[in-house]
Each structure stands twice: as C-alpha cells, then as structure tokens.
Amino acid sequence: MLRRIQPPDFWQSVTGSLAWNETADETAKRELFEETAIRASSTQIINRQKTNRFAILPAWRSRYKPNVSENVESIFTLELEKKIDIQLSSNEHSEYLWLGAADAADLASSYTNRDAILEFVSS
C-alpha cells in the first residue's frame, strides 16, 4: 500500500490516469514504474477486465476539468514472487507497506481499491 502525500493519510495501491493516446494496459505498466520503480512486462500485469465508475470526491476535484464529475478505473494486478524494495515517487507518496490482502483492504482509503484487493489479491 502507498501513502499519498495529499490528501494526508490516504492509502492506496498504484493508481494513475491515462495519458493521451495510451491504452489502459500501457497506463498500468507506466504508473507501476513511475510510482514504485518496478519494471514489469505486459504479460506480468494482469488486466482483470473490470471497471468501476464513481463520483470524483472533493479532495480530488482540482485534478480534473470543471465539467468532469465521474471517474472510470480499470483494475490490474501484478503478482511478485517476493517482497522487493520500492522506490517511491517522492512527489506523490511518503511511504509504503507490504501487507496481506485483508490488512491492505482495511487500510485502503478508497472503497473501489478495497473491493479490488478483496476480489483479486490472495494473501
């Protein structure tokens, strides 16, 4: 789990937005590297073929254009053989924790993040 710098005490897994002319699969690979320095191949990152649509919370509204009120997220997973050292993006996150699925879900600030962890991550 990654702890965001802003808003304070917001815990999440790797997240990110599509760049112009980028697929969701490409975004997942890029964001994983940008936020953790983990380089993964496209075959290691599993697209779970699940999307969530939800209202953008007030804490995040400034990141979007004024007329954008909903977000659509795609769920991806990556299974590692062992815990590895993470190099955080210092402008986004302040710390990380390796946790089992139940503890990660308890810590997740977003209900969609919690639900994805419980559905797709094994302890």
The answer, yes or no, to whether residue 61 has pLDDT greater than 90, is no
pTM (2 decimals)?
A: 0.88
Helix (H, G, I), strand (E, B) or coil at 86: coil
**Domain-located, residue 9:** yes
CA distance 102 to 117: 8
Q: Which of 29, 32, 26, 27 is closest to 13 using CA atoms?
A: 32
How many domains in the chain? Answer: 1
Q: Using a pLDDT cut of 90, give the percent of the chain over it.
A: 65
> How much helix, strand and coil, in percent to the nearest 5, is found in the chain?
30, 25, 45
Q: Band of the pLDDT at 123, cuts 50, 70, 90?
A: low
pLDDT one-digit tens code per residue, 1-60 = 999 998 889 999 999 888 889 999 999 999 999 999 999 987 889 999 999 998 888 878
Average pLDDT over residues 89-114: 94
Domain annotation covers residue 68: yes
Any idea what the CATH number is for the domain that residue 73 is in? Answer: 3.90.79.10
Is 109 part of a structural domain of the chain? no
